[in-house]
Structure 1
Amino acid sequence: MSELMDFGYKGKVAVITGSSKGIGRETALQMVKLGAKVLLVARGEDALKEAVSEISAFGEADYIAQDITESGAAEAIVEAAVQKFGRLDVLVNNAGSSFAKSFEDVEVAGWEEDIDLKVMAAVKMSKAALPHLKKQGGAILNLTAVMGKTPQANSLPTTVSRSAGLALTKAMSKDLGKHNIRVNAVCIGLIRSDQIEKRWQKQAPELSWEEFSVKSGGNIPLGRIGDTAEAANVITFLCSDLASYVSGTAVNIDGGSGHAW
């Protein structure tokens, strides 16, 4: 992110779920570097401590270890952010997991767990944040997946949950615009993550990351796996003042691999 641009983050407060690693952590780092105060949220306290230790070198950051699917967790997270930093301007609903099987292979409990994490947790977090966002306006960003736009075989239940996240984003943007609250989504494709790095070390440890990225990204128009920072760049922009007239949209971050706009 260019330091020459004013993204409008100075004095603002963000809550980012699923932010101890990967895209969430990188987004927290970018927002703090641009002047925001950020509360990181995840289940693993050790990873959160490590992330905050790094990010705090650039500004104000804190964490709360919570399972966002638990009763009362959303309210506790928002309250912690407001007590620590005095306000709330940005919510990034980033928590999620990869759970993709055929319809026949997914039990009802699997459906419930996936929808609870990827849809209902975003609903609960947004409801808890709403009274604070209404005070001065703000932004909500829902992380979804490109496959949510074009579900394929053996992609359940995650593509259904992600599709619901897209509908939630559009509907919320219509309802909350009157409060100057913008709601957008990003649809993630193949992005560097712990899971992909483990695959790299298992399948081709003799290759550099750049070589493995190109080899694995052969079917992607841009010819490689995306970097974590490239996803965080888009999220940070959409939640910033530079995107002040962008709401109700879902941006693909997939190197051109998706089959829908």
Structure 2
Amino acid sequence: MSSANRFDGKVVIVTGSSAGIGRASILRFGKEGASVVVHGQSKEKLESVKQDLLKAGVPESRILVIAGSLEDESVHDRLIDETIKKFGRLDILINNAAIPGKPGIDSNSMEGYDAIMNINVRVVYRLCQLATPHLEKTKGSIVNITSDLSERPMPRTMPYSISKAALNHLTRNFARLLAEKGIRVNAVGAGLTETDFITRMGMPKEVIDHIMTDVIKTIPLQRASNADEQAEMIVNIASPTNTYMIHL
């Protein structure tokens, strides 16, 4: 099986795939033969991703777009139900969507904590549960996108670091639980990546620049990654040719 067609006949959901790492990932999956489910909240960004997929040669019959906030459980249900209705199967779930906080809310407040933990942990838990019966049929794969911040404190937005630490252990538990069903579960700990995600934390530009400079000094390659580099790792881990890797 060549890398060009390793996802032929496979169906992939990527949450938060209208921008950043999610967008780069969904484009790679589509180019390599998968039917793709694109998710996000901005209809403009979703349409842009769809047009990029079409330009890359992915036919409209292999594209499903789901718009909506993951704060709404009915969106979780639609992601799974409409995928099965259109494509008849599910092979890969990429839990990429996450929030660093909510505009106008102190991330370290209880309101901020609840909002972050809901999207970054609870939603992932529920989507894994909803997807499991379908992934069992296809001996599929789940990849959760976590962060190196799970291992370091982040005083300006403590719940984000906490949520990613929780997501790591969530992944370990689902990996152990679902291995007997033939479902692989892994996590990709995305390091510092050049996307607009960090700007959504609402920090002043000078603070962001300072953080970028300080963190880059700790990276052996002395630079941040880009979304395509993270997508390459995600796609390779999710690949049906990768038959033995689970996160424990």
Pairwise same-fold verdict (TM > 0.5): yes
Structure 2 residue 41 is the aligned partner of structure 1 residue 43: yes
Distance in 2, matches of 1:247 and 1:41, equals 25
Matched residue count: 233
Q: Judging changes above 3 Å, is the alpha-carbon distance between structure 1 residues 90 and 182 closer, same or farther for their aligned structure 2 residues?
A: same
Which secondary structure state, in structure 1, belongs to the residue aligned with residue 136 of structure 2? helix
Residue aligning to 2:227: 228
Deviation at 1:219, TM superposition (A): 3.6
1:168 equivalent in structure 2: 170
- Tell me what 1:74 maps to: 76
Q: Write out per-residue CA displacement over residues 51-78 of structure 1, whole angstroms, 9 at most, x where no aligned residue.
A: 0111123323221102112122211111
Which of the two has greater helix per residue? 2
- TM-score, reference length from structure 1: 0.82
Q: Secondary structure at the match of 1:129?
A: helix
Match of 1:141 among 130, 143, 146: 143
Secondary structure (helix, strand or coil) at the match of 2:193 reads coil
Distance in 2 between the 1:124 and 1:74 partners? 8
Is the contact between residue 7 and residue 241 of structure 1 (CA under 8 Å) also seen in structure 2? no
3-state SS, counterpart of residue 228 of structure 2: helix
Residue identity opposite 1:28 in structure 2: I
* Contact 1:191–1:227 (CA under 8 A) maintained in structure 2: yes
Q: Is the 8 A contact 1:95 1:117 kept in 2?
A: yes
Q: Is the 8 A contact 2:90 2:138 kept in 1?
A: no
In the alignment, the residues of structure 2 paired with residue 146 and residue 129 of structure 1 have an alpha-carbon distance, to the nearest angstrom, of 26
Local SS of the residue matching 2:122? helix
Q: Which stretch shifts more, 188-197 or 240-249?
A: 188-197
1:98-118 Cα deviation digits (max 9, x unpaired)? 249xxx972111111100000
Taking only the aligned residue pairs, the percentage that are identical comes to: 29
Alignment of 1:27-66 (within 5 A): 27-57=25-55, 58-59=57-58, 60-66=62-68
Deviation at 1:136, TM superposition (A): 1.9
Tell me which moved more, 150-159 or 228-237: 150-159
Q: Using a 3 Å threshold, how does the CA distance of structure 1 residues 105 and 164 change in structure 2: closer, same or farther?
A: closer
CA 1:155–1:195: 2 relative to 1, 3 Å? closer
User: How far apart are residue 195 of structure 1 and its match?
Assistant: 4.8
CA–CA distance in 2 between the matches of 1:128 and 1:196? 30
Considering only aligned residues, what root-mean-square deviation do their CA atoms show, in Å? 2.6
Query: What residue number does 1:177 align with?
Result: 179
1:91 alignment partner AA: L
Match of 2:92 in 1: 90
Secondary structure of the 2:66 match is strand
Match of 1:238 in 2: 237
2:209 match: none
Other-structure match for 1:126 = 128
Q: Distance in 2 between matches of 1:214 and 1:25?
A: 26
Secondary structure at the counterpart of residue 62 of structure 1: strand
CA deviation string 1:193-244 (max 9, x = no partner): 025699xxx77xxxxxxxxx99983442101111110000000001002321
Amino acid at match of 2:221: L
Structure 1 runs, 4 residues or longer, greater than 4 Å off:
195-198, 213-216
Residues 146 and 168 in structure 2, CA contact (< 8 A), matched pair in contact too: yes
1:156 aligned counterpart, secondary structure: helix
CA distance in 1, matches of 2:235, 2:197: 23
Q: Is the 8 A contact 1:42 1:64 kept in 2?
A: yes
Aligned equivalents of 1:215 and 1:140: distance in 2? Answer: 33
Q: How high is the TM-score relative to the length of structure 2?
A: 0.86
Contact map agreement 1:10 1:36 (CA 8 A) in 2 = yes
Give per-residue Cα distances to partners, 1:241-261, cap 9 Å, x unaligned: 232100015xxxxxxxxxxxx
How much does 1:143 deviate?
0.7
* Alignment match, 1:254: none
